[in-house]
């Protein structure tokens, strides 16, 4: 049963210490135990509706699922949830509109890069006291890191409980790996990959050896070349994780090395010629049969398929936890929330409710999914339902407050994948700046100009499309003209103050 499984997961978390006191106990992991988790449910009051903006793919039958969800929430919290699911390409605009228009909004999905502007405009509130008062489940999972999503002490959000850091990796088509007897375990660096890429180029002319897309996360971040310190312009060089000196990204030794190698690959024809401009993502390239591999990150929940194609991973580095590890997916509370305390109670409840997470992620049992095994560890399609005719299959767990509350999907993950993830989270080597985000207000004018310069150069450099010997000096010169020195000075000042507070 899932409850038995969650108790095993609790035991694993308790036994680990790297994340601090992650759990004080195992209560509150399912809806029967969790209940209100932070305040008394007064059913004599009019139910409060929490409006929550999240990211994902809208589903045809969301109203049916939300009806089931709200039956539970009314029972346990005397609240209802108005869930707004915004596609990746439009959430930034929708979030901005909802926060500035004054329309109802309580919980909002964001990251550190977007949070700083909302803090400066008084559009989100400091959650520190609310976490202390109502964050029962939040503190059980995050322990001392429950308030790690903060800027200058302003706790702008509660981090989603999912992977903490990643391992740089290359994902390769399994069928091609097997066809050429490629020894995956012998590949431990980008340099080790070169002979494999030559084999693919010579023998599979219709396939790009390494597919790179400008519309996906920056290669420098996937390869942990630098700790981006939010913006990726003034960074810490990750050739050593003890670094605390902020430098221009153009002066990072590890960044330069990655750019040089990728340019060598580009010139050799290992990378697709349109890498700097294409918006066709690697999943589509795998599906079309036009790509052998892609640079990715790995953790135990990394998919075994992309575009319906089986992949195998080679690990290209260590498990690194950068400054933004708890700042890339968070839930904030909007300043125009009519009842922030209710909003926090709802957020904390979602951290601990298996029942609601299962509904939001997979839908209704027997209609959208069924248990695939007698132990109720895995789920799968009901008879007659599949990806082509399903009316609810949101796969929202990565965007939900606690990714580990819903069941793993059969044929995608093993039954113990959440135990693996919890263990994985304990093992990462942390940047000295883990948990640091900076206030951009003192350099807001310069930062706008710097980002324009970054937009001009980063894709070309990080896809290997241009020669770094020529373009890195040009990049740095334009950054300097746009206010780079002021950004470095301000960020170093804030980092030093933050580091002093960690002692």
Tokens coding 287: 């599906």
CB 314 within 8 A of CB 188: yes
Neighbouring residues of 262: CB distance < 8 A, sequence distance ≥ 6: 212, 219, 271, 462, 463, 464
Residue 101, phi then psi, degrees to nearest 5: -85, -20
Q: How far apart are CA 313 and CA 294, in angstroms?
A: 10
The 3-class secondary structure across 357-424, one letter per residue, is HHHHHHCCECCCEEECCCCCCCEECCCCCCCCCCCCCCCCHHHCCEHHHCCCECCCCCCCHHHHHHHH
Q: How far apart are CA 308 and CA 336, in angstroms?
A: 43
Q: Residue 140 CB: number of other CB atoms within 10 A?
A: 26
Instruction: Show pLDDT as tens, one digit a residue, over the chain (503 residues).
Output: 454 444 444 444 444 433 443 333 333 334 334 444 444 455 678 999 999 999 998 999 999 999 999 999 999 999 999 999 998 878 999 999 999 988 899 999 998 888 888 998 999 999 999 999 999 999 998 888 899 888 888 999 999 988 888 899 999 999 999 999 999 999 999 999 999 999 999 999 999 999 998 877 778 778 888 999 988 999 999 766 788 999 999 999 999 999 999 999 999 999 999 999 998 888 899 999 999 999 998 998 888 888 889 999 999 988 888 887 776 789 999 999 999 999 999 999 999 999 999 999 999 999 999 999 888 999 999 999 998 999 999 988 888 999 889 999 988 888 898 889 888 888 888 888 888 888 888 999 999 999 999 999 999 999 999 999 999 999 999 999 999 999 999 999 999 999 998 86
CB 404 within 8 A of CB 350: no
Domain over 2-163+326-430 is classified CATH 3.40.605.10:
no
Q: Domain ranges for the chain, please list them.
A: 2-163+326-430
Task: Provide the strand spans (E) within 63-126.
Answer: 79-86, 107-110
Q: How far apart are CA 298 and CA 23, in angstroms?
A: 25
pTM of this structure? 0.79
| Antiparallel, parallel or unpaired: β 320-321 and 429-430 | parallel
């Amino acid at each position: 049963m899932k409850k038995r499984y969650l108790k095993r997961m609790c035991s694993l978390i308790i036994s680990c210490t790297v994340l601090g006191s992650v759990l004080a106990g195992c209560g509150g992991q399912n809806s029967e135990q969790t209940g209100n988790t932070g305040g008394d449910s007064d059913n004599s009051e009019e139910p409060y509706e929490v409006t929550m903006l999240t990211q994902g793919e809208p589903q045809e039958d969301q109203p049916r699922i939300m009806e089931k969800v709200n039956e539970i929430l009314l029972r346990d919290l005397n609240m209802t949830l108005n869930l707004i699911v915004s596609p990746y390409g439009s959430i930034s605009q929708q979030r901005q509109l909802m926060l500035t228009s004054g329309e109802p909004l309580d919980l909002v999905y964001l990251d550190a890069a977007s949070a700083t502007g909302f803090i400066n405009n008084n559009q989100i509130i400091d959650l520190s006291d609310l976490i202390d008062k109502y964050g029962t489940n939040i503190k059980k999972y995050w322990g001392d890191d429950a308030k790690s999503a903060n800027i200058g002490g302003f706790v702008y959000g509660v981090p989603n409980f999912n992977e903490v850091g990643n391992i740089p990796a290359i994902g390769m088509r399994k069928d091609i790996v097997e066809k050429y007897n490629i020894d995956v375990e012998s590949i431990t660096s980008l340099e080790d990959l070169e002979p494999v890429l030559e084999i693919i180029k010579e023998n599979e002319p219709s396939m790009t050896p390494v597919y790179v897309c400008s519309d996906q996360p920056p290669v420098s971040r996937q390869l942990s070349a630098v700790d981006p310190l939010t913006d990726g312009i003034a960074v810490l060089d990750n050739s050593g994780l003890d670094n605390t000196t902020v430098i221009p990204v153009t002066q990072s030794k590890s960044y330069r090395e990655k750019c040089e190698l990728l340019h060598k690959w580009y010139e050799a024809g290992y990378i697709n010629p349109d890498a700097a401009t294409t918006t066709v993502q690697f999943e589509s390239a795998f599906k079309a049969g036009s790509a052998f591999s892609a640079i990715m990150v790995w953790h135990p929940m990394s998919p075994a398929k992309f575009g319906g194609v089986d992949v195998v991973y080679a690990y290209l580095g260590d498990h690194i936890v950068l400054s933004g590890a708890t700042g890339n997916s968070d839930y904030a509370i909007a300043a125009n929330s009519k009842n922030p305390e209710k909003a926090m109670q709802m957020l904390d409840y979602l951290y601990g409710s298996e029942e609601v997470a299962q509904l939001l992620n997979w839908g209704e049992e027997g209609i959208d999914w069924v248990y695939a095994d007698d132990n109720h560890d895995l789920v799968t399609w009901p008879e007659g339902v599949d990806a082509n005719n399903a009316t609810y299959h949101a796969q929202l767990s990565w965007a939900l407050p606690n990714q580990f509350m819903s069941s793993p999907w059969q044929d995608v993950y093993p039954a113990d994948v959440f135990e693996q993830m919890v263990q994985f989270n304990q093992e990462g080597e942390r940047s000295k700046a883990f948990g640091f985000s900076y206030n951009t207000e003192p350099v807001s004018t310069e930062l706008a100009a710097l980002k324009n310069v970054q937009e001009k150069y980063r894709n070309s450099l990080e896809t290997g499309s241009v020669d770094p010997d020529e373009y890195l000096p040009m990049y740095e010169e334009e950054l300097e003209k746009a206010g780079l020195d002021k950004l470095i000075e301000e960020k170093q000042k804030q980092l030093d103050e933050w580091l002093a507070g960690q002692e």
